[in-house]
A and B are shown apart, each in its own frame.
Chain A
Amino acid sequence: MYAVNFLLLSAALFSIGVFGVIARRNAVMVLMSIELILNSVNLNLVAFALMNNDVDGHIFALFVIAVAAAEVGVGLAMVLMIYRNRRSIALDELSEMKG
């Protein structure tokens, strides 16, 4: 197994996630794209752990999984609050704070 396999796959997943963050209007879909990005990073960490024959990459991957779970919890709570106040979660309508 070549290391390039894992690294190219995670680069592709990362790019797809970035496209989703830019293109999507629905806040829940943006959060899903962020999950794609975090998973590609995890795949990289595990591949590097295999490359270096060390478990530190696994430990960092588990840290990232835990932080992603916290991020989704807080993010969805914020989306719910915005929906309750505005009856919409379209991100381009949230423009009160622009300069």
Chain B
Amino acid sequence: MSILAVLATDVNVAQNVGFYIIAAIMLFAAFSVVSTSDVVHAALWLVVVLGGVAAQYILAAAEFVAVSQVMVYIGAVMVLFLFGIMLTKSMIGSDTDVNNKGWGVGIPVALLMFGVLAYSVIDAFDNTVLVDPSEVQIASTTTAISDGYLGDYLVPLIALSFVLLAAAVGAIVLARKD
């Protein structure tokens, strides 16, 4: 898609520019997560990726999911990760052996997977333009989400609460010293 083709349609150019900047930062941070040799640095790069995902949610008009992402991932999960790193690492700094011996196998696997996914995505959704929702729709998104949770998805919500309860109890049982 050339610049002229983009300008000819009703695509929001500023939104696209923001998307590409955030996407570039996210991809660089994701590469750093899987390539750095310091576990703490990997966790901090993961914060950049998670924040970028939250920014993309806002670009995609999903404010409630974005706020949940910031609170749950950046707030809670990252603290868990940092505690896990601190409790399992004897020394701070670069490790020499964070990769498997056969780590090179991952490169062709990842490239092949990306190729297949990109081919199918482009084949199926090329030139599908996302229409920006109206302000009324954006204002009622959270209402619609709560209607969904307390309506069609009530049983999955209750099941999920039991999953979280079981996970909390299981984590305590596993990590307890006795």
- List the interface of chain A (C-beta within 8 A of B): 1-9, 11-29, 31-33, 35-36, 39, 42-43, 46-47, 49-51, 53, 55-56, 58-59, 61-63, 65-74, 76-81, 83-84, 89-92
Is the C-beta of B98 less than 8 angstroms from some C-beta in chain A? yes
Contact A24 to B77, CB < 8 A, known contacts A3-B129, A7-B121, A16-B110: no
Main SS class of interface, B: helix
- List the interface of chain B (C-beta within 8 A of A): 1, 11-12, 15-16, 19-20, 23, 26-27, 30-31, 33-34, 39, 42-43, 46, 49-50, 53, 56-57, 59-62, 64-65, 68-69, 72-73, 76-77, 80-81, 83-85, 87-88, 95, 97-101, 103-107, 109-111, 113-114, 117-118, 121-122, 125-133, 137, 141, 144-145, 148-149, 153, 156, 160, 163-164, 166-168, 170-172, 174-175, 177
Which of B30, B103, B160 is A22 in contact with, Cβ under 8 Å? Answer: B103
Q: Find the B residue at minimum CB distance from A47.
A: B60
